[in-house]
Amino acid sequence: MKMMNGQLKFIACVLLLFIHLYDLCYTAEAAFDHQLHTIRFSEGFSHLFGEGNFVPSSDGKGVRLLLDRFSGIYFCSGFISSDLYDHGFFSANIKLPSNYTAGIVVAFYMSNADVFPKTHDELDIEFLGNIKGKAWRFQTNVYGNGSTSRGREERYRLWFDPSKEFHRYSIFWTSTKIMFYVDEVPIREMVRNEEMGGDYPSKPMSLYATIWDASSWATSGGKYKVNYKYAPFISEFNDLVLHGCTVDPIEQLPTPSCFEKTSQLESATYATITPRRRRAMKKFRQKYMYYSYCYDTLRYPIPPPECEIDPSVRNKLMENGRLRFTRRHHSRPRVAGQISGNIHYENQYED
């Protein structure tokens, strides 16, 4: 008995040691945010549009973008990076508008549409408005060389309320891969494939942040519109990160510091998806992704070349790339001679 107790104590100690080491590893990986070099807004950005609906923070580290009836003829406000970038890591802590925000899109994205209107590249994170009490939805998208007819969008739910507090959203872009992050969780990775050709974003881009009225499509496919009685809609951005290779705006050539910046970029914590982060990404995609172009066989009978099909995800999605229908039982008072409970079929993450 004493020997058995000794063995149990030994096993318990080993388990505690394992848990301690596990926590240390987690802490090391979760130190993601502490390795980022944030800048003041004036060091890297300028106001784009929105007149009086652009409000710098008192400490100069962030801004508020507002949307109301007076946001101008385009019903939007936003800001833009002062430079074009040829790859980099772009990040911000963002807090979204609260209450009823249907039809409102808050976007954090890279684009060069102003420079290449017919062959532009784009990397998007777009929040798609919300009805109070529902899970927030957002999408990521990738365009290269004007390939808007071959959009590579994915849609997801968030596992928290992004209007309650700030969360970090990030875009990592190099010549070989693209990653999107929510806090320390990589939610999407696209590895460049030669067969993609010009569809892979490869031209210098600026970083943008905007809030705008997208009533025609954003929330449940346009079913719910912006209601300006809840205005102003306020989105907040702070702790901004612009870590990348800047490009001469006229010659569009990399600046002399690019080699050093690229080396720093490729060696940074966020440049590699560790086994732990890959498990977190897999879990996120299995649980929170409700549409992916890679699984949309009606649109792409042959998946685009960069797609890696996960059988566990494929089994959850229909042939149009959307989450399978679920069966929901609605109980009602039982009537003599009837069986209680109606079955209602619905797509639980309707666009």
pLDDT tens profile 272-304: 999 999 999 999 999 999 999 999 999 999 999
126 is known as an active-site residue:
yes
Q: Would you give the end-to-end CA distance of the chain in angstroms? A: 62
Question: Which region, left, alpha or beta, applies to residue 183 given φ > 0 means left and ψ of -120 to 50 means alpha?
Answer: left
Task: With cut-offs at 50, 70 and 90, classify the pLDDT of residue 326.
Answer: low
Rg (CA), the chain: 23
DSSP state at residue 4: H
Confidence of residue 63 (pLDDT cuts 50, 70, 90): very high
Which residue stretches of the chain are H helix?
A: 2-30, 41-44, 258-267, 275-288, 311-314
Annotation marks residue 51 as catalytic: no
**C-alpha angle 92/233/60, rounded to 5°?**
40
User: Beta strands of the chain (E only): which ranges?
Assistant: 45-49, 54-56, 62-67, 76-81, 84-95, 104-111, 122-127, 137-143, 154-157, 167-173, 177-182, 185-191, 206-213, 233-247, 289-296, 320-322, 326-330, 342-346
Distance (Å, whole) CA 79 – CA 68: 17
- Contact assessment for residue 71 and residue 51, using Cβ atoms and an 8 Å cutoff: yes
> Do 158 and 288 contact (CB within 8 A), yes or no?
yes
Surface-to-core class of residue 169, CB atoms within 10 Å of its CB (0-12 exposed, 13-18 middle, 19+ buried): buried
The top-scoring range by mean pLDDT among 127-141, 167-181, 306-320 is: 167-181
Single-letter code of the amino acid located at 261? K
Look at residue 74 in the predicted model and tell me its pLDDT: 61
Gap between the Cα atoms of 74 and 243, Å rounded: 30
Is the pLDDT score of 11 beyond 60?
Answer: no
Q: Does domain 36-292 have CATH number 3.40.800.10?
A: no
Integer angstrom CA distances of residue 133 from 98, 111, 269: 11, 33, 35
pLDDT tens across 171-212, in order? 999 999 999 999 999 999 999 999 999 899 999 999 999 999
Q: How many CB atoms lie within 10 A of CB 233?
A: 28
Secondary structure (DSSP) of 306-319: T----HHHHTTB-T
Structure tokens at 136: 């927030």
**Average pLDDT score over residue span 141-164:** 91
Catalytic residue among 43, 51, 122, 153: 122
Q: Which tens digit of pLDDT belongs to each residue from 311-325? A: 989 888 888 788 875
Percent of the chain scored above 90 by pLDDT?
A: 62
Model confidence at 10, pLDDT cuts 50, 70, 90, reads: low
Domain ranges of the chain: 36-292
Average pLDDT, the chain: 83
Sheet holding 167-173, edge to edge: 54-56, 62-67, 233-247, 84-95, 167-173, 177-182, 185-191
Q: What percent of the chain has a predicted confidence (pLDDT) above 70?
A: 79
- Mean pLDDT value of segment 21-26: 40
| CA dist., res. 83 & res. 178, Å (int) | 20
Mean of the pLDDT values across residues 329-346? 36
List the catalytic residue out of 29, 43, 126, 306.
Answer: 126
State how far the alpha carbon of 76 is from the alpha carbons of 72, 147, 280, in Å: 7, 25, 35
Examine the pLDDT at 20 and tell me if it is beyond 70: no
What confidence score (pLDDT) does residue 33 get?
64
Q: How far apart are CA 258 and CA 242, in angstroms?
A: 13
